[in-house]
């Protein structure tokens, strides 16, 4: 029953991730697929009528143990806005694939399991195993990826203008719980595996965080097709007017944004944003006409800039947040005035 719950939760999250499309992390999609398949393996193992079927199901169940920690680490890095180079990611994937290939030798070679015995109890079938050397390698890789994720979270606590502290605390909590559950499971020697449920609960946290981030992503905003335009700056706020991030060009136009802490109110200590955009944003909020956008221009050091303020996912008198898009229109103004 526990494994069916895990499958149900993971499938629900899979639908959510698919709905949000490219504004979500592709690795989240892979993680959920791995969790569904692994949980199905655990469930099939519990129903196995003999050793041969149990070993086949057991191989499927190891998909989570081999790949979920690595995928979770990549997702954590992405949430914390730390880019892993493609060559490094290829090495990571290759390493876990090699480990899983050794999992596939179960029943044939004494490399991953030295031996396995089939047993049944009231909860279903289970295996009593004697582990081989490659199982130790897999466990070590799982622990290393989990510890690496915790270290990334701790490092990101000091990057308040880049990563939300709420997100970091949620990531750290999910990782610590995963470690504790794993250690308790190994210490007590439970006949039921809690690992799939642990990964499922962690994936719930990751999905919630990615949805929060995607709500203030350029890919989910009205200006998504213009994202490739390097001369368009985007600044995001939630419905409580807390700062949620900006694009690189926006940071060039308003350097103070790089000092703002994510998910905090707009600082009132000057800066270009407070000079040109703060009051129009407050006026737009007070008007509550979220089906419309506010368009204005301003001049700074001989350059003309156009900005548009719009609501993110408006619904009646409610919006998920606000998007300000700023572009340099100096050339266009000059052509108009000729």
Q: What is the pTM of this model?
A: 0.83
* Residue 100 pLDDT greater than 90, yes or no: yes
Helix (H/G/I), strand (E/B), else coil: 289: coil
Q: Is the pLDDT of residue 18 over 90?
A: no
Model confidence over 103-156: pLDDT tens digits? 999 999 999 999 999 999 887 898 989 999 999 999 999 989 999 999 999 999
- Kindly list the distances between the CA atom of residue 30 and the CA atoms of 23, 126, 222, in Å, as whole numbers in the listed order: 15, 27, 27
Each residue's pLDDT tens digit, 144-183:
999 999 999 999 988 888 888 889 999 988 888 877 787 7
pLDDT tens column, 187-213:
776 667 777 888 888 899 999 888 888
Residue 227: pLDDT over 50: no
pLDDT at residue 20, rounded to an integer = 73
- Retrieve residue 176's tokens: 């610590």
Task: Kindly compute the dihedral angle of the four CA atoms of residues 58, 60, 64, 65, in this order, to the nearest 10 degrees.
Answer: 40
Whether residue 11 has pLDDT greater than 70: yes
Q: Which of 148, 181, 179, 162 is nearest to 70 (CA)?
A: 148
Distance CA 45, CA 28 (A): 26
Q: Residue 223 has what pLDDT?
A: 44
pLDDT band at 226 (very low <50, low <70, confident <90, very high): very low
Q: Are the beta carbons of 326 and 319 closer than 8 angstroms?
A: no
* Structure confidence by residue, pLDDT tens digits, 33-82: 999 999 999 999 999 999 999 999 999 999 999 999 999 999 999 999 89
Going from the N-terminus, what domains does the chain have, and what CATH number goes with each?
2-214 (1.20.1070.10), 219-336 (3.30.450.20)
Q: What average pLDDT is seen over the chain?
A: 87
């Amino acid at each position: 029953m526990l494994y069916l719950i895990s499958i149900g939760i993971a499938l629900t999250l899979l639908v959510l991730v698919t709905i949000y499309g490219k504004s979500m992390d592709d690795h989240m999609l892979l993680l959920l697929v791995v969790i569904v398949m692994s949980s199905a393996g655990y469930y099939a193992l519990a129903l196995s009528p003999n050793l041969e079927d149990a070993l086949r199901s057991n191989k499927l169940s190891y998909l989570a143990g081999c790949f979920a920690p690595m995928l979770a680490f990549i997702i954590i890095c992405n949430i914390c806005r730390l880019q892993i180079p493609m060559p490094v990611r290829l090495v990571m994937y290759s390493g876990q694939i090699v480990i899983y290939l050794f999992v596939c030798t179960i029943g044939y070679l004494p490399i991953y399991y030295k031996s396995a015995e089939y047993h049944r109890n009231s909860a279903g079938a289970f295996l009593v195993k004697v582990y081989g050397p490659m199982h130790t390698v897999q466990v070590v890789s799982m622990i290393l990826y989990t510890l690496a994720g915790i270290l990334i979270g701790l490092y990101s606590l000091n990057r308040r203008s880049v990563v939300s502290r709420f997100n970091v605390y949620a990531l750290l909590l999910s990782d610590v719980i995963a470690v504790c559950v794993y250690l308790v499971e190994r210490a007590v020697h439970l006949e039921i595996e809690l690992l799939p449920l642990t990964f499922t609960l962690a994936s719930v946290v990751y999905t919630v965080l990615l949805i929060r981030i995607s709500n203030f992503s350029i890919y989910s905003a009205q200006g998504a097709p213009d994202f490739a335009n390097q001369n368009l700056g985007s600044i995001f706020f939630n419905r409580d007017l807390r700062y949620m991030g900006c694009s690189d060009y926006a940071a060039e136009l308003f350097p103070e944004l790089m000092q703002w802490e994510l998910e905090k109110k707009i600082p009132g200590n000057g800066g270009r944003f407070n000079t040109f955009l703060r009051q129009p944003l407050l006026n737009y909020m007070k008007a509550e006409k979220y089906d419309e956008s506010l368009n204005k221009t301003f001049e700074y050091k001989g350059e003309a800039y156009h900005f548009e303020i719009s609501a993110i996912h408006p619904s009646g008198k409610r919006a998920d947040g606000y998007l300000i898009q700023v572009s340099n229109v100096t050339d266009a103004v000059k052509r108009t005035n000729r």
